[in-house]
Structure 1
Amino acid sequence: MSKDPLLQPYQLKNLTLKNRIMITSHEPAYPEDGMPKDRYRAYHEVRARAGVAMTMTAGSAAVSRNSPPVFNNILAYKDEVVPWVRRLTDACHDHGCAVMIQLTHLGRRTHWNKGDWLPAVAPSHEREAAHRAFPKQLEDWDIDRIISDYADAAERMKEGGMDGIELQAYGHLMDQFWSPATNTLEGPYGGSLQNRMRFSLEVIDAVRKRVGEDFIVGIRFTADEDMEGGLTEEDGLEIARTLQQTGQIDFLNVIRGHIDTDPGLTDVIPVQGMRNAPHLDFAGKVRREIGLPTFHAAKIPDVATARHAIAEGLLDMVGMTRAHMADPLIVRKIAEKREEDIRPCVGATYCLDRIYQAGDALCIHNPATGRELTMPHEIRGADEKKRVVVVGAGPAGMEAARVAAERGHDVTVYEAAPDAGGQIRLTAQSERRREMISIIEWRLDQCMARGVRFNFNTFAEAADIETDKPDVVIIATGGLPHTEVLSEGGDLVVSSWDIIAGDVKPGRRVLVYDDAGDHAALQAAEIIAASGAHVEIMTPDRSFAPDVMAMNLVPYMRALQDKDVRFTVTYRLKAARRSGNMITAVIGTDYSNHIEEREFDQIVVNHGTVPMDELYFELKPRSKNLGAVKQEALIFGQPQPLDANPQGEFALFRIGDAVAARNTHAAIYDALRLVKDI
């Protein structure tokens, strides 16, 4: 047997877990009609097949109709969920993987205009900042019904073959009862901590009576809300002791913090640039003092940290949830002593930010996650070896080279810069976002291990391509900043890239005009503000930086709000004119004919990129497919037809920002779904 602490079995009640690595409950928002159908099953099954000991589904499954599915939650209050749950559990059990599900009532952490348009309910009328619904304060008959709903849902999950359930408390209805900040009830469910725990204890008792003593029941809870007026660490430990003393709770899954605001949520689930495993020692303290089996997950992205958590007795099971979104094969690679091959989680939190904008969870640099029905996590070898030339070593080009090499092809990459990375290398100029470079470094290592040839400092021309005599040419040359967006004065502005790269020094009074809404504008603004300059961030949209999204916005705000920075929405920069040593900005709006002028000494424009596509168009007439991509084949993962030009010399494709300005995920997805069939 392996001596690796992570690969040791663990006995949880009557359940033997084959190792110490788990995927904690999370909702990737893959349900269809509230049911965990084939996409949901495939997502968990591929991770089960790779060896994870336990996967927890849902984050969280709704037990009641008046807990509307604001995250596209599984609807555990419907009987029809049972056969879908059974398909999922059977698929995972076939690979020796335990399966649990998280059940909850969201309380005020939802909105009334979802689901059946029932009012949100909570132990007070105070709304949650993140979801903005003013809840109805619970009545006794509401409480009785919700307790019964929990028991009904738990029974459905047992019938569906689950090994256990996890009751979700933190930030949800149970915690809203516990916390003095959110419970203004009088009588048996309000006032003292003992009274505030009554609802949860009644739920647990009702669940136990329904599922029996052998079924595993745990709870995920915050043992310290870390907020003014909220639960303290002492309160959290007292809650844990009370739960332990009931004899009805089989494990604790420990959280620290509060999730009612974006900053609070980001401290609970840290993003890139924030400390790894910030609450691990705290979880270990709860384990020591309470003695129940203890689980925990919060930015534990690497095997070394996970191994430390188990070896030092801080946890019984360690959650590597976002890490498994980046690489579902983690456990297999550990067992095969291939840890260096693990695709790293870079903390971009593209996954969660998409969920909180009503999207589905996607990993920023593993486009197969959530697409297991059509996209491979493991690349199969090609029937015929080909010569593949990739032009550009940004995220799209590096993924194309990696996948082509794993297919067994002979791969050559041309890159005009001295290093691989493209826009990712620019992003990683920020110390806070330097983890992003792992997207490139991992692919570079994978390529080098498979003999890919790199020609850096080489601006590829058509003659270079001819010399290589390729079968396939992939243009991944990216784009250049698009700053020609004004009616006049385009020569007076600089790009966000100029600031980030350090090619242009910040001015003293700076307008950052952001018409793209992505990271580049805020990253440039952060550099300018840190220099001591006045910065105005202007956008014609009704909100700024919409593509940065909630959790990633938090570090920017923390870096900007204590400096001389102003945010202006719904105004459009029309023109720029030289005025002595200053630049006059002509500012309008889409909402009226209003025009105003203000003076700055520097204007920075962020308006996406325009493709660097000259080489593509030069090669296009000589290609077998004339550069064409059949959309149906691309969408459904089928090989591309190459019969448009029988006299052509090679297949030609372009991907990423060489097509149009998008993002890192789109660029890498372009490469995977095209090259996997070459």
Structure 2
Amino acid sequence: MTDQSPVRDPLLQPLTIKDLTIRNRFMSTSHACGLERGGFPQDAYQAYHEEKARGGIGLSMFGGSSNVDIDSPNIFQQLNVGTDEIIPHFQRFSERMHALGAALMCQITHLGRRGDPYAGDYLPPIGPSPIRETLHRAIPREMDEHDIDRVVRAYGQAARRCEEGGLDGIETLAAGHMIGQFLSPKTNKRTDRFGGSLENRLRFALMVHEEIRRCTSDRFVVGMRYVVDEGIDGELSPDECVRAARILEAEGSVDFFNALFGSMDTARSLSEEVFPGIGTPAAPWVGAVGRFKREVGLPVFHAARLSDLASARFAVAEGHIDMAGLTRPQIADPHMAAKLMRGEDHRVRPCLGAGHCQGPQRPKCLHNAATGRELTVGHSIAGAETPRRAVVVGAGPAGLEAARVLAERGHSVRIFDAAPQPGGQVLLAAQAWRRDLVGVIDWRLAELEILGVHVECNRYIDSADIAELDPDLVLLATGGVPQTDFGPGGDLVLSTWDIVGRQAKPAGEMLIWDNTGRHPALLAAHVAQAEGAQVQLAGIDVNIGQDLAYPETTRWLKEFAKSRLRPEGSMRLSSVVRDGNRLCATLTNELTHETFDRVIDQVVVEMGTIPMNDLFDDLRQASGNDGVTDIHALRDLKPQPRPRKGFELHRIGDALSSRNIHAAIYDALRLCSVS
């Protein structure tokens, strides 16, 4: 009989590199998490990683793109490993992580041509050749040997600081950064001893790692974030990647490879190959990484859409990788290793790959509002001193999260929804390449089942029904309805919900006007085109998807490029009138104030939602707080003032205003975790 106990799981086996034993195969790969302060990993940054250690992680690699010198500037909240001032922060950080049993390493790098000439000290970016990088837009100055020697020394000193800070090791970043720019024939056109042959192009990497070895002890672990195939946007072949890796291994330069696939200098490759997300296959490069691993003798790490335990377990069990980079999954659930060890892997909050953690608010997860807020709301839910009778109306993301948190605290919870199934707007959004969004709903339904809370659907609840339930606390998560009142002719248009929800059939020529820069208008255009409509897409913003994270915008641009749809920006919908059996829509260009008439069959408008306030208005008078939420108490995570009589009434999510899933879930979490 096969031993099915969690301790035999391949992901829970230790890995030893030199003198370092990592307790399991769970790893968080380095990323610029957005929590640095002054270029240093201070309290919030450390607490973010410490939660993963508390959750059982084996190795936390932090400091994505940490800069070794001043002409590698801070352009996306990296750490500054170019100064000794960082050492005390490292010492405190490593003590905290080691006390919880986790290993800790930092990524160090020089951005090279990925730098910004107008950031930091206004120094020109440098690189092996003066070739502009399209994504970061700088034209670098070609390095001479003085530059090369200086940067090599900077790498060594940065590594020294990491070891003096108590870290277990480091990795350099080759792919797309300075080391990789020398290695790739796409970015290295030199004719001196650093260009031409593979051996010459690898010379800079060997010099850097020789200096790192000189500046650190033999026990210090040194690896490389290494590309195994540059993909269709690159020129470095898999064979050359293997040959270079074998040279690095033979020279004793590295102790592990952290494998990447793809290039970093186009938005497409970055969002589809290097960091693939929602709408892409699971674990797409494990096979390629496995082929690389079989050609080298060192441990190989990897992270790219290893979005669940099953994918990671397969990759480790089949020998494709040695450490599973579950980076975004541990942003969604930093306790996934501990849950696996307890045999509760079915309770792991899933990573959806939505890309919210890569946006301006990083590292905040789309549906875990505690991540990145470890010093405030945190990941643990404390029991309530006094159980209360709570009623939640609405079973979208906000309502389900409210019910989950209240039940976790020990309150008696009833949750109702007028729709035939829970999910709210997510059921509309989880279409096409965004199907995985349904995980926001499915995980919460599973948690509520464990907590003994049943979602009562097809239940339209009015104020009299709520009075009969005699609650102490009422939370309205009733969402909103589409806003279409743009001006003259608002009664003639459809909403994006009509198209996405198939309540109206797309026909003929259709104009879709986007006033939010979010997903609904883009999804409506996708649906309408698929059903045969001739779609014109216009928006108020300069570009489409301006409210979205870059991987989402890039994916929509690719979808529309394939379907030959060319969105128009800076366009305001001024009016719609009937023109026989068609419609005449007038658009105004926001830049020139020219107006254009379009005669079409259908006009679809996206303006977000407005709250459904009928139930709230009916309940206010009977409530003890007049439906007022103390926003200062909400911000400070303090309990709301308890009314002397009557129930406490609050609105959350789109019942307040039109926002995204994360905001709705955060409303529920911070209100209910102290209720």
Write the distance in 2 (CA, Å) between the matches of 1:549 and 1:6. Answer: 31
Write the distance in 1 (CA, Å) between the matches of 2:485 and 2:432. Answer: 30
Query: Aligned with 1:235: secondary structure?
Result: helix
Query: Aligned with 1:470: secondary structure?
Result: coil
CA gap of 1:228–1:427, structure 2 versus 1, over 3 A, is closer
Query: Aligned with 1:82: secondary structure?
Result: helix
Query: Aligned with 1:165: secondary structure?
Result: strand
1:286, CA displacement in angstroms? Answer: 1.2
Match of 2:650? 653
Query: Aligned with 1:477: secondary structure?
Result: coil
Match of 2:384? 382
Query: Aligned with 2:619: secondary structure?
Result: helix
Write the distance in 2 (CA, Å) between the matches of 1:508 and 1:128. Answer: 42
Match of 2:60? 55
Task: Tell whether the 8 Å contact from 1:6 to 1:306 is kept in structure 2 after alignment.
Answer: yes
Write the distance in 1 (CA, Å) between the matches of 2:133 and 2:544. Answer: 22
Residue of structure 1 aligned with 2:247, choices 238, 242, 248? 242
Match of 2:370? 368
1:476 equivalent to 2:482? Answer: no
Write the distance in 2 (CA, Å) between the matches of 1:242 and 1:492. Answer: 69
1:431, CA displacement in angstroms? Answer: 3.6
Match of 1:174? 179
Once the two structures are superposed, residues 159-199 of structure 1 have per-residue CA deviations (whole angstroms, 9 ceiling, x without a partner) of: 11100001111111111111111112221111221111111
Match of 1:216? 221
Residue of structure 2 aligned with 1:138, choices 118, 137, 143? 143
Match of 1:591? 591
Runs of 4 or more consecutive aligned structure 1 residues displaced over 6 Å after TM superposition = none
Match of 2:299? 293
Identity, % of aligned positions: 43
1:309, CA displacement in angstroms? Answer: 1.3
Match of 1:492? 492
Residue of structure 2 aligned with 1:670, choices 637, 660, 667? 667
Task: Tell whether the 8 Å contact from 1:532 to 1:564 is kept in structure 2 after alignment.
Answer: no
1:229, CA displacement in angstroms? Answer: 5.3
1:374, CA displacement in angstroms? Answer: 0.5
One-letter amino acid of the counterpart of residue 549, structure 1: A
1:396, CA displacement in angstroms? Answer: 0.4
Match of 1:447? 448
Once the two structures are superposed, residues 123-173 of structure 1 have per-residue CA deviations (whole angstroms, 9 ceiling, x without a partner) of: 222222211122222222221111111111110010111000011111111
Match of 2:118? 113
Task: Tell whether the 8 Å contact from 2:68 to 2:155 is kept in structure 1 after alignment.
Answer: yes
List alignment gaps of at least 5 residues for structure 1.
none
Match of 2:260? 255
Write the distance in 2 (CA, Å) between the matches of 1:86 and 1:621. Answer: 56
Query: Aligned with 2:8: secondary structure?
Result: coil
Pairwise CA RMSD: 1.3
Match of 1:333? 339
Query: Aligned with 2:289: secondary structure?
Result: helix
Residue of structure 2 aligned with 1:424, choices 414, 426, 435? 426
Task: Tell whether the 8 Å contact from 1:534 to 1:564 is kept in structure 2 after alignment.
Answer: no
Structure 1-normalised TM-score? 0.97
One-letter amino acid of the counterpart of residue 651, structure 2: R
Match of 2:540? 540
Of 203-212 and 579-588, deviating more is 579-588
One-letter amino acid of the counterpart of residue 396, structure 2: G
One-letter amino acid of the counterpart of residue 47, structure 1: K
Task: Tell whether the 8 Å contact from 1:164 to 1:217 is kept in structure 2 after alignment.
Answer: yes
1:16 equivalent to 2:13? Answer: no
Once the two structures are superposed, residues 626-657 of structure 1 have per-residue CA deviations (whole angstroms, 9 ceiling, x without a partner) of: 222222221121111135xx3x3111110000
What are the residue-to-residue correspondences of 1:341-356 with 2, within 5 Å?
341-354=347-360
Write the distance in 2 (CA, Å) between the matches of 1:548 and 1:508. Answer: 29
Query: Aligned with 1:459: secondary structure?
Result: coil
1:228, CA displacement in angstroms? Answer: 5.0
Query: Aligned with 1:158: secondary structure?
Result: helix
Write the distance in 1 (CA, Å) between the matches of 2:593 and 2:496. Answer: 28
1:269, CA displacement in angstroms? Answer: 1.3
1:94, CA displacement in angstroms? Answer: 0.2
What are the residue-to-residue correspondences of 1:269-308 with 2, within 5 Å?
269-308=275-314
Match of 1:392? 394
Match of 2:155? 150
Once the two structures are superposed, residues 204-228 of structure 1 have per-residue CA deviations (whole angstroms, 9 ceiling, x without a partner) of: 0011000022210000111110135
Of 560-569 and 21-30, deviating more is 560-569
Task: Tell whether the 8 Å contact from 2:489 to 2:576 is kept in structure 1 after alignment.
Answer: yes
Query: Aligned with 1:529: secondary structure?
Result: helix
Write the distance in 2 (CA, Å) between the matches of 1:243 and 1:580. Answer: 74
Task: Tell whether the 8 Å contact from 1:535 to 1:564 is kept in structure 2 after alignment.
Answer: no
Write the distance in 2 (CA, Å) between the matches of 1:580 and 1:121. Answer: 63
Write the distance in 2 (CA, Å) between the matches of 1:330 and 1:268. Answer: 23
Once the two structures are superposed, residues 286-320 of structure 1 have per-residue CA deviations (whole angstroms, 9 ceiling, x without a partner) of: 11111111110111111111111111111111110
Write the distance in 2 (CA, Å) between the matches of 1:200 and 1:564. Answer: 43
Match of 1:414? 416
Query: Aligned with 1:331: secondary structure?
Result: helix
Write the distance in 2 (CA, Å) between the matches of 1:8 and 1:592. Answer: 64
1:313 equivalent to 2:310? Answer: no
Task: Tell whether the 8 Å contact from 2:585 to 2:599 is kept in structure 1 after alignment.
Answer: yes
Query: Aligned with 1:420: secondary structure?
Result: coil
Write the distance in 2 (CA, Å) between the matches of 1:310 and 1:67. Answer: 35
1:553, CA displacement in angstroms? Answer: 2.1
CA gap of 1:667–1:466, structure 2 versus 1, over 3 A, is same
Task: Tell whether the 8 Å contact from 1:224 to 1:232 is kept in structure 2 after alignment.
Answer: yes
One-letter amino acid of the counterpart of residue 120, structure 2: G
Write the distance in 2 (CA, Å) between the matches of 1:620 and 1:189. Answer: 74
Query: Aligned with 2:112: secondary structure?
Result: coil
Query: Aligned with 2:161: secondary structure?
Result: helix
Once the two structures are superposed, residues 322-373 of structure 1 have per-residue CA deviations (whole angstroms, 9 ceiling, x without a partner) of: 000000110110000001110000110111133xxxx432100001000000
Write the distance in 2 (CA, Å) between the matches of 1:127 and 1:611. Answer: 48
What are the residue-to-residue correspondences of 1:598-609 with 2, within 5 Å?
598-609=598-609
Of 186-195 and 410-419, deviating more is 186-195
Match of 1:190? 195
1:610, CA displacement in angstroms? Answer: 0.3
One-letter amino acid of the counterpart of residue 481, structure 1: P
Once the two structures are superposed, residues 220-250 of structure 1 have per-residue CA deviations (whole angstroms, 9 ceiling, x without a partner) of: 1111101355101111111111111111210
Write the distance in 1 (CA, Å) between the matches of 2:9 and 2:284. Answer: 23
One-letter amino acid of the counterpart of residue 501, structure 1: G
CA gap of 1:543–1:431, structure 2 versus 1, over 3 A, is closer
List alignment gaps of at least 5 residues for structure 2.
none
Query: Aligned with 1:583: secondary structure?
Result: strand
Structure 2-normalised TM-score? 0.97
Match of 1:560? 560
Write the distance in 1 (CA, Å) between the matches of 2:498 and 2:147. Answer: 58
1:621, CA displacement in angstroms? Answer: 2.0
1:612 equivalent to 2:618? Answer: no
1:406, CA displacement in angstroms? Answer: 0.2
Once the two structures are superposed, residues 229-285 of structure 1 have per-residue CA deviations (whole angstroms, 9 ceiling, x without a partner) of: 510111111111111111121000111111211110112211111100000111111
Task: Tell whether the 8 Å contact from 2:301 to 2:321 is kept in structure 1 after alignment.
Answer: yes
Task: Tell whether the 8 Å contact from 1:415 to 1:459 is kept in structure 2 after alignment.
Answer: yes
Write the distance in 2 (CA, Å) between the matches of 1:317 and 1:454. Answer: 40
Of 122-131 and 46-55, deviating more is 122-131
What are the residue-to-residue correspondences of 1:2-41 with 2, within 5 Å?
2-41=7-46
1:401 equivalent to 2:403? Answer: yes
Task: Tell whether the 8 Å contact from 2:128 to 2:188 is kept in structure 1 after alignment.
Answer: yes
Task: Tell whether the 8 Å contact from 2:113 to 2:178 is kept in structure 1 after alignment.
Answer: yes
One-letter amino acid of the counterpart of residue 240, structure 2: D
Task: Tell whether the 8 Å contact from 1:353 to 1:552 is kept in structure 2 after alignment.
Answer: no
Write the distance in 2 (CA, Å) between the matches of 1:229 and 1:259. Answer: 9
Match of 1:466? 467
Of 104-113 and 285-294, deviating more is 104-113
Write the distance in 2 (CA, Å) between the matches of 1:216 and 1:74. Answer: 20
Write the distance in 1 (CA, Å) between the matches of 2:446 and 2:24. Answer: 28
Write the distance in 2 (CA, Å) between the matches of 1:193 and 1:572. Answer: 54
